[in-house]
Structure 1
Amino acid sequence: MVQCENLVKIYKANDLEVVALQGLDLTVEKGELMAIIGNSGSGKSTLLNMLGGLDRPSAGKLFVDGQDLLKFSDRDLVRYKRQTVGFVWQNNARNLIPYLTAQENVELPILLAGKRKRERALELLDSVGLSHRARNRLQELSGGEQQRVAIAIALAGKPALLLADEPTGSVDTKTSAQILDLFRELNRTLGLTVIIVTHDPRLAKKVDRVVAIRDGKTSSELIRRKSYSEELSELERAEESHVEYAVMDKAGRLQIPASYLEAVGAEKLGRLRVVIEEGRIVLLPPEEE
């Protein structure tokens, strides 16, 4: 579904240049449910904006659903945003029109596509568990219900890829869990590819793969050991549910997770010795001069 190769994004303002992505590589399979995590300024939201057609890369390759986004005209991008990708924002003000009902908010993108809007809107609200709130205005809905309306809007164009930028950032823990369960249900029933950007490590319990971005590059991945249903039945702890991998780029560069370096006091050394011992690559402190 997604193929990023050596992706670079540089923002320029007057004489200042900011490098948001520095040769990022990422592959996302069709039907995958995954999360992208990273500290503020790591480049995760920049990546999501490019996947959503809201921003263009400075260099590299970016394919989504077999389409080369670097070759898109402005007209192509409009069609892409309507037909291929759906977007859910953290801020409901970017998702919803406050003076319309839940149903009218969902009807709007369907109307722009020239399709029969009422039946489709009710169908979408039912898919997110809100058919009973269709005629309620936004001020009558809770934060979690508003976010469900936003997800229904994102599904209106029958996208192949659903992107969510901090979708649980403005709701409480219980509601956050419900929204993440909804993403998992949509992924399972519709075969929808879902990418969620978040700073919440609890997401690791809900998704199949977690990719960490640091300094504009993918640094590590957490991949689920067992299916989510098996994990729930065994009440397995979150930290045991995934295996962590460091990510190596095509040039052989490797980013070691910062927590590992801190644990052995290596973050201040600047360099490490690399040796092979019994078929393993081992990192050691530098020898004293």
Structure 2
Amino acid sequence: MIQCEGLVKIFKAADLEVFALQGLDLEVQTGELMAIIGNSGSGKSTLLNMLGGLDRPSAGMLTVDGKNMLKMSARELVRYKRESVGFVWQNNARNLIPYLTAQENVELPILLRGRRKKQRAAELLEAVGLSHRRHSRLQQLSGGEQQRVAIAIALANSPKLLLADEPTGSLDTRMSEQILDLFRELNRTIGITIVIVTHDLQLARKVDRVVSIRDGKTSSEMLRRISYTEELEALERDMEAAAAAEQSHVEYAILDKAGRLQIPAAYLESIGAGDTNKVRLELVEGTIVMTPGAAKKEPAAD
């Protein structure tokens, strides 16, 4: 569904250039439910905006559902945003119109496709568990219910890809888990590809694959050892299995096309390489061993 190779995004302000993405590589399979994590400024939201057609890459390759995002015309980009991708924002003000009911909010994007809007809106609200609240105005809905309406809106035109930018950022833990459970159910029942950006690693662990972005590049991936359903069943059988759930994923560092990888700062500090930019690599019996070089020299005082 998604293929990024050497993806670069540069933002320019006056004489300043900021590299938000610096050669990012990523693949997302059709029908996958995955999360992207990273610190503020790592480039994860920039990537999501480019996947949604809101920003264009500066360089590299980006294809979504076979469409080259760098070569799309303005008209093709509008059609892509209208028909191929759905967006769920953290801020409900970007998702919803406050003076409309839940059903009227969902009906709006359906009008663009000329469908029977009332029937389709009712079906979507039922799919997100809000059929009993379809005539409620937004001020009558809780934060979690408003986010469910936003998800129904994102699904209105049957997109192949659903993008969610911090969709649980303004919700409490219980409601956040309900929203993520809803994403899992939608992924399972209708097969839609879902990419979630979140800063919460514990919530991200509910999906099968977690990609970590650092300094504009893919730094690591965490893959689930067993399925989420199997994990829940194990927890129900044995409460002591909760500790094992913390090890539900195994983490892999990502090599880029040039064979480079990002090593966590904690690892470098643990071997005494925190004060040097040089390390020695040796191949010892089929294992790559890294040892720190000389520490950086302080500049001489005047």
Instruction: Answer whether TM exceeds 0.5 for this pair.
Output: yes
Kindly state the Cα deviation for residue 288 of structure 1 after the two structures are TM-superposed. 8.2
Corresponding residue number in structure 2 for 1:146: 146
Q: Which range moves more in the overlay, 126-135 or 236-245?
A: 236-245
- Contact 2:278–2:294 under 8 Å retained in 1: no
Q: Which range moves more in the overlay, 232-241 or 195-204?
A: 232-241
Kindly state the Cα deviation for residue 266 of structure 1 after the two structures are TM-superposed. 3.1
Q: Does 1:252 align with 2:267?
A: no
**Structure 1 Cα separation of the partners of residues 34 and 214 of structure 2:** 17
Matched length: 289
- Calculate the TM-score normalised by the size of structure 1: 0.97
Kindly state the Cα deviation for residue 287 of structure 1 after the two structures are TM-superposed. 6.2
Kindly state the Cα deviation for residue 261 of structure 1 after the two structures are TM-superposed. 3.0
Q: Which amino acid aligns with 1:105?
A: N
Kindly state the Cα deviation for residue 262 of structure 1 after the two structures are TM-superposed. 4.1
Q: Does 1:266 align with 2:291?
A: no
- Contact 1:220–1:257 under 8 Å retained in 2: no
Structure 1: stretches of 5+ with no match in the other structure: none
- Contact 1:211–1:222 under 8 Å retained in 2: yes
Q: What is the CA deviation profile of residues 25-79 of structure 1, one whole-angstrom value per residue up to 9, with x for unaligned ones? A: 0000011111000000000000000000000000000000011111101110110
Q: Does 1:122 align with 2:129?
A: no
- Contact 2:198–2:204 under 8 Å retained in 1: no
Q: Which range moves more in the overlay, 265-274 or 72-81?
A: 265-274
Corresponding residue number in structure 2 for 1:210: 210
**Structure 2 Cα separation of the partners of residues 88 and 268 of structure 1:** 42
- Contact 1:43–1:214 under 8 Å retained in 2: yes
Q: What is the CA deviation profile of residues 63-101 of structure 1, one whole-angstrom value per residue up to 9, with x for unaligned ones? A: 000111111011101100111110000000000000000
**Structure 2 Cα separation of the partners of residues 177 and 285 of structure 1:** 43
Structure 2: stretches of 5+ with no match in the other structure: 236-240, 297-302
Q: Which amino acid aligns with 2:187?
A: N
Kindly state the Cα deviation for residue 205 of structure 1 after the two structures are TM-superposed. 2.5
**Bigger radius of gyration among the two:** 2
- Contact 2:276–2:295 under 8 Å retained in 1: no
Corresponding residue number in structure 1 for 2:192: 192
Q: What is the CA deviation profile of residues 96-122 of structure 1, one whole-angstrom value per residue up to 9, with x for unaligned ones? A: 000000000000000122111000000
- Contact 2:213–2:220 under 8 Å retained in 1: yes
- Contact 2:100–2:137 under 8 Å retained in 1: yes
Q: Which amino acid aligns with 2:6?
A: N
| SS of 1:104 mapped into structure 2 | helix
Q: Which amino acid aligns with 2:149?
A: V
**Structure 2 Cα separation of the partners of residues 288 and 43 of structure 1:** 30
Q: CA RMSD in A?
A: 1.4
**Structure 2 Cα separation of the partners of residues 211 and 19 of structure 1:** 20
**Structure 2 Cα separation of the partners of residues 238 and 268 of structure 1:** 35
Q: Which amino acid aligns with 1:212?
A: S
Identical counterparts, % of pairs: 74
**Structure 1 Cα separation of the partners of residues 91 and 115 of structure 2:** 27
Kindly state the Cα deviation for residue 141 of structure 1 after the two structures are TM-superposed. 0.2
Q: Which amino acid aligns with 1:220?
A: S
**Structure 1 Cα separation of the partners of residues 267 and 126 of structure 2:** 45
Q: Which amino acid aligns with 1:279?
A: G
Kindly state the Cα deviation for residue 271 of structure 1 after the two structures are TM-superposed. 2.3
**Structure 2 Cα separation of the partners of residues 72 and 256 of structure 1:** 36
Q: Does 1:52 align with 2:52?
A: yes
Q: Which range moves more in the overlay, 136-145 or 277-286?
A: 277-286
Q: Which amino acid aligns with 2:12?
A: K
Q: What is the CA deviation profile of residues 195-252 of structure 1, one whole-angstrom value per residue up to 9, with x for unaligned ones? A: 0001001123310100000000000000000000111122244431001000000101
Q: Which amino acid aligns with 2:253?
A: A
**Residues 119/234 of structure 1: CA separation in 2 closer, same or farther (3 Å cut):** same
| SS of 2:118 mapped into structure 1 | helix
**Structure 1 Cα separation of the partners of residues 121 and 291 of structure 2:** 59
